């Protein structure tokens, strides 16, 4: 029986960088052996696996290569030919160690985009909405949660950056899942209670010109008119307080 390593090739593609390729289904031990051998002379070993090659992606993972992302490209015939980039660095912790195994898992397990928004109302029960510069629809104040940032910290930061208001977020009033839409991946929107404030709070607003065109308190009927339908549903669900979880406001 031929050694499964016969189907594996390792080529130096840049200073300190090796690229590993294989045909068929080499054993995990064979791939790991070749990766380890390449790292004795290189600081990085990488593999490019076709995005629709599930077996190849499993093989790369079992060999201890971390998923780094997708390299988009077009072949000579003008067809899109995307590949998943996998790599292992000489400084990566061994997969046999708990930290190394967790880092490997962390590289390919799903990640969910998180958005944190704040529900701020005035004494008449109207809802604070912002008119954004990059879309026509109005929305609740807030924004994307940064990597390693807590959603509570994120929404307080966003409200201060966008509106110049320092409002301490209270409890979570709604978790709303947003399906993929218009080029966006799916996301989870967390709506925090920003409390009730006098209308005069608007006098202290300092709008971030790059993102905010206007801000005002709106009735629910005005929310329906000014906001996207899924945003209006989310606002009504948050105001109603009867649902802790919705999907696109439903």
19 neighbors 47 (Cβ within 8 angstroms)? yes
- CATH superfamily name and code, 4-108: Gcn5-related N-acetyltransferase (GNAT) (3.40.630.30)
197 Cβ neighbours under 8 A, 6+ residues apart: 120, 121, 122, 123, 167
189 neighbors 115 (Cβ within 8 angstroms)? yes
* pLDDT at res. 2: 45
* pLDDT at res. 5: 52
Distance CA 124, CA 141 (A): 19
Q: Which residues of the chain have pLDDT under 70?
A: 1-6
* Topology of the domain comprising 113-247: Nucleoside Triphosphate Pyrophosphohydrolase (3.90.79)
158 Cβ neighbours under 8 A, 6+ residues apart: 116, 118, 141, 142, 143
169 neighbors 192 (Cβ within 8 angstroms)? yes
- 3-class secondary-structure state, position 50: strand
Residue 37 backbone phi and psi in degrees, to 5: -65, -40
* pLDDT at res. 79: 86
pLDDT digits (tens, 9 = 90+) for 109-160: 999 999 999 999 999 999 999 999 988 899 999 999 999 999 999 999 999 9
Closest CA to 51 of 84, 86, 87, 85: 84
Domain extent listing, the chain: 4-108, 113-247
Q: What torsion, rounded to 10 degrees, do the Cα atoms 206, 207, 208, 212 define? A: 170
């Amino acid at each position: 029986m031929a050694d499964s390593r016969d189907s594996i090739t390792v080529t130096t593609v840049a200073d300190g960088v090796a690229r590993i390729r294989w045909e068929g289904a080499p054993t995990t031990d064979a791939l790991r052996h070749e990766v380890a051998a390449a790292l004795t002379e290189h600081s990085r070993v990488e593999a490019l696996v076709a995005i629709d090659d599930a077996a190849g992606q499993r093989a790369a993972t079992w060999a201890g290569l971390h998923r780094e992302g997708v390299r988009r490209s077009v072949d000579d015939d003008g067809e899109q030919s995307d590949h998943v980039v996998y790599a292992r660095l000489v400084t990566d912790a061994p997969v046999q160690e708990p930290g190394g195994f967790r880092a490997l898992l962390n590289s390919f397990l799903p990640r969910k985009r998180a958005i944190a928004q704040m529900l701020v109302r005035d004494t008449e029960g109207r809802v604070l909405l912002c008119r954004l510069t990059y879309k026509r629809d109005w929305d609740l104040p807030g924004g994307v949660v940064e990597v390693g940032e807590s959603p509570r910290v994120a929404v307080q930061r966003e409200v201060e950056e966008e509106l110049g208001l320092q409002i301490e977020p209270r409890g979570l009033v709604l978790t709303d899942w947003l399906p993929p839409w218009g080029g966006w991946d799916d996301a989870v929107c967390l709506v925090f209670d920003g409390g009730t404030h006098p209308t005069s709070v608007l006098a202290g607003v300092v709008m971030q010109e790059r993102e905010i065109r206007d801000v005002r308190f709106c009735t629910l009927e005005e929310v329906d008119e000014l906001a996207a339908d899924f945003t209006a549903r989310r606002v009504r669900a948050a105001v109603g307080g009867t649902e802790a979880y919705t999907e696109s406001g439903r």
